[in-house]
A = this chain, B = another copy of it.
Amino acid sequence: METIKDIAKACGVGVSTVSRAINNHPDINPETKQMILDVIKEHNYIPNNSARNLKRTKSKSVAVLIKGISNPFFSRMIEIIEYETQQKKYTFVLQRVEENEDELSVALQLAKEKKLKGIIFLGGMITHSEEKIRQLDVPFVLSTSGYIAGKDMDGKWNGNAGWSFVTVDDYGESYKIVNYLCSLGHKKIAILAADIEDDSIGKLRYEGYKQALRDNGIEPCGDLECHMDERVDNYSMRTGYRLMNKLLSREKDFTAVYAIADSLAIGACRAIIENNKKIPEDYSVAGFDGLEAGEFYNPSITTIRQPVEKIAKETVGLLFQLMQKEGGNRQIILPGELIIRESVKEI
């Protein structure tokens, strides 16, 4: 294994000079620097990152910890976050964390190893003790999650989370689209929801649905609710398909279905079509998220679009404010956008 010493020897200079060449330090003769760089290239020398991290005191890097990397929603977010981060001349570390892994522990460890300046959490970060969160002495922002942590059970914002986050108002936007369905004359609105025990966005969207119904004088009916199985289902098209078939087999009357995610909505559509029913003639279908797949589906899916670009930008902006101590924790709640397409009709 080649080390900086070997290079120094090969160049006939000291190790620190090589180090200076590598790290673009100013106080070095341009000629020696070029010579060293040439030798390095010739030897295919690669500095050992562990040693660098160990020695370095500071660093200009932030990390994104992402739970549920398969979420297509996150792909675009990452792109933007990465771009914005690089604009600010910071290095960007992407770290995926298992569904059953503790993202906070991973964050703690990574912060130490990479001497991080800041962290962004994408997904997850729902259930953590204040105490453990406090161990994280690096500025961090929760993106598209964390809202729940500041919400009371009935969905009302209690306004005192001790940390920063950026998210859409899942409860409010869910309310909005269900209310929209009601305004179109729908009275029997089914829902494809997360499992009952869910305490994340699934719960928020579910609560928004129920409240919208009540405010429209409709009492939520358990027979029109179809929940995922805990630890079996996920937010996939297949799940939507399964849930919809289950709902249809109950032979209950309804005119619209609200799926709490576009992926579920698409699976639901397929189930409806295979049952020889038409969308939206027989059933209206509404989703949530604003995925590309919903836009190009046949019929295209009426949904709430999450402002991905905006969320990403605000997240990075907030994180850097925190890092530069330009203000304390803030909670940014962005509006979604009701996108009216083909899958819902007036009744």
Query: What residues of chain A have their CB less than 8 Å away from a CB belonging to chain B?
Result: 1, 44, 46, 48-51, 53-54, 69-70, 72, 75-76, 78-79, 94, 96, 108-109, 112-113, 135, 236-238, 241, 266-267, 269-270, 273, 292-293, 295-300
**Which of B54, B72, B236, B267 is close to A48, meaning CB atoms less than 8 Å apart?**
B54
* Residue numbers in B under 8 Å from A78 (CB-CB): 69
**Which of B108, B292, B300 is close to A238, meaning CB atoms less than 8 Å apart?**
B292
* Residue numbers in B under 8 Å from A69 (CB-CB): 69, 75, 78
The answer to whether A49 and B112 touch across the interface, beta carbons within 8 angstroms, is yes
The answer to whether B296 and A237 touch across the interface, beta carbons within 8 angstroms, is yes
Question: Who on chain B is nearest to A114 by CB?
Answer: B50
* Residue numbers in B under 8 Å from A297 (CB-CB): 270, 297-298
* Residue numbers in B under 8 Å from A51 (CB-CB): 50, 54
The answer to whether A109 and B293 touch across the interface, beta carbons within 8 angstroms, is no
The majority secondary structure among interface residues of chain A is helix
* Residue numbers in B under 8 Å from A94 (CB-CB): 96
A113 to B54, CA, bound (A): 12
7 A-B residue pairs with CB within 8 Å: A1-B112, A48-B54, A49-B112, A70-B75, A70-B76, A72-B72, A237-B292
Copies of this chain, count: 2
Question: Who on chain B is nearest to A72 by CB?
Answer: B72
The answer to whether B49 and A109 touch across the interface, beta carbons within 8 angstroms, is yes
**Which of B53, B79, B266 is close to A50, meaning CB atoms less than 8 Å apart?**
B53
For residue A309, give the distance in angstroms from its CB to the closest CB of chain B: 15
Question: Who on chain B is nearest to A295 by CB?
Answer: B237
* Residue numbers in B under 8 Å from A266 (CB-CB): 293, 296
Closest 9 CB pairs of A and B: A70-B75, A49-B113, A50-B53, A50-B54, A270-B296, A237-B296, A50-B50, A298-B298, A237-B292
Question: Who on chain B is nearest to A76 by CB?
Answer: B70
* Residue numbers in B under 8 Å from A108 (CB-CB): 44, 46
* Residue numbers in B under 8 Å from A269 (CB-CB): 296, 298
The answer to whether B296 and A241 touch across the interface, beta carbons within 8 angstroms, is yes
A135 to B44, CA, bound (A): 8
A79 to B94, CA, bound (A): 17
For residue A271, give the distance in angstroms from its CB to the closest CB of chain B: 9
